[in-house]
Amino acid sequence: MIFEETRLRGAYIIEAEPHKDRRGFFARTWCQQEFEEHGLNPRLVQCSISFNLKKGTLRGMHYQEAPHEEAKLVRCTMGAICDVIVDLRPDSPTFKEHLAVTLSAENRKMLYIPKKFAHGFITLEDDTEVFYQMSEFYSQESARGFRWNDPFFGIRLPLEVAVISERDRDYPDFRRAT
């Protein structure tokens, strides 16, 4: 696997290295040893998928507070998303900065999201599926979020939001959420 650290320290874009032959290819998408070598949390306790019918579906911005903070490995297995993360680590030089990455079935890129980051995405195509691997179990008591369009962050999405849950739409701005 190829690990490329982003400008948000600890967040990585990860690409599989395909071994091709006449059948197609084979590639590793997760390896505990390689994650440890890059200083990433290799713990995996839960995997989930999100299937989204319509282009313009927004999910986020979500995170979990202590003691259930989670690292995530996110991959788009069908369709495409604009994946957005926000650094919520108060001691980080990139505190409250965000990064957007296109993940698609075609580019097969993955995004490693460290603990204390918020995460969300908007679908760029109909019938998009996202696969998550998490380091902690989901805890409703620790689940938090803020509005994706909070002016404090200035997140710009590549298209208009067409579908959003009531919960995600009604999250408070980050300043009121903390």
Catalytic, 62? Answer yes
Confidence check: pLDDT of 177 > 80 = no
Instruction: For residue 94, tell me if it sits in a domain.
Output: yes
Catalytic one of 12, 19, 38, 62:
62
Catalytic, 171? Answer no
Round to whole Å and give the CA distance between 119 and 15.
19
120: containing domain: 7-14+43-177
Only one residue has tokens 């908007």, namely 122
pLDDT band at 176 (very low <50, low <70, confident <90, very high): low
Averaged pLDDT for residues 13-18? 96
What is the pLDDT at residue 175?
A: 75
Identify the bridge partners of residue 140 per DSSP, sorted by sequence position.
none
Reported as a single tens digit per residue, the pLDDT across 94-140 is 999 999 999 999 999 999 999 999 999 999 999 999 999 999 999 99
Nearest to 93 by CA among 3, 1, 7, 5: 7
Q: Return mean pLDDT, the chain.
A: 96
What is the pLDDT at residue 178?
A: 54
Angle subtended at Cα 54 by Cα 50 and Cα 57, rounded to the nearest 5 degrees? 65
Instruction: For residue 36, tell me if it sits in a domain.
Output: no
Catalytic one of 38, 119, 132, 171:
132
For the entire predicted model, the pTM comes to 0.95
Q: For position 156, which CATH number holds?
A: 2.60.120.10
Q: What is the number of structural domains in the chain?
A: 1
